[in-house]
């Protein structure tokens, strides 16, 4: 287990490793005991809320062009048109996640998680982003690695 010599960096790395460990074991569990989206939402809480408190200035500020969204794994996901940069998206996601203003959407009667909506309750419950469930992990991988890169480069 050990200590956190560089808390922010170690926390991000360990959170992503936790996700990787779980996904490598996922198939050992029956479908009804696979809690991968519960884990993802918990890890989003740490990966997106923690930077606001400690390392917000290192969050990448890339423009959210359609090419960039594809590059970060958000091919089908929808982001509010008013959000133009990644840092603004992270801020909106942070508020939504921290206040648990999220909706889980299923497209069929099996109640599988197909979409996760992130809501801005202070702005008439406007949808900040609607992520295709299977695109959240690629997004977190990209976001985490670019955040780590910025922290190491500029801190």
Specify the 3-state DSSP secondary structure of 30. coil
**105 strand-pairing partners:** 115
Alpha helices (runs of H) in the chain, residue ranges in sequence order: 7-25, 36-44, 50-54, 66-71, 86-98, 133-154
Q: Which residue carries 């917000």 as its tokens?
A: 56
Task: Report d(CA 140, CA 6) in Å as an integer.
Answer: 20
Name the band, by pLDDT with cuts 50, 70 and 90, for residue 52. Answer: low
pLDDT of amino acid 83: 95
- Mean pLDDT, the chain, integer: 90
Q: 7-11, 46-50, 88-92 — which one is most confidently predicted on average? A: 88-92
pTM of the model: 0.89
Task: Report d(CA 137, CA 135) in Å as an integer.
Answer: 6
């Amino acid at each position: 287990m050990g200590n956190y010599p560089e808390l922010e960096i170690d926390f991000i790395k360990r959170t992503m490793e936790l996700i990787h460990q779980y996904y490598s074991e996922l198939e050992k569990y029956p479908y009804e005991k696979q809690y991968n989206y519960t884990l993802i939402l918990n890890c989003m809480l740490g990966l997106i809320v923690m930077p606001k408190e400690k390392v917000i200035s290192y969050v990448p500020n890339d423009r959210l062009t359609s090419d960039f969204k594809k590059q970060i794994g958000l091919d089908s996901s929808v982001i509010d048109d008013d959000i133009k940069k990644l840092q603004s998206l992270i801020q909106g996601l942070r508020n939504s996640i921290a206040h648990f203003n999220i909706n889980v959407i299923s497209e069929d009667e099996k109640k599988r998680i197909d979409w996760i909506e992130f809501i801005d309750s202070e702005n008439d419950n406007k949808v900040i982003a609607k992520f295709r469930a299977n695109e959240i992990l690629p997004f977190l991988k990209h976001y985490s690695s670019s955040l780590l890169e910025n922290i190491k480069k500029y801190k």
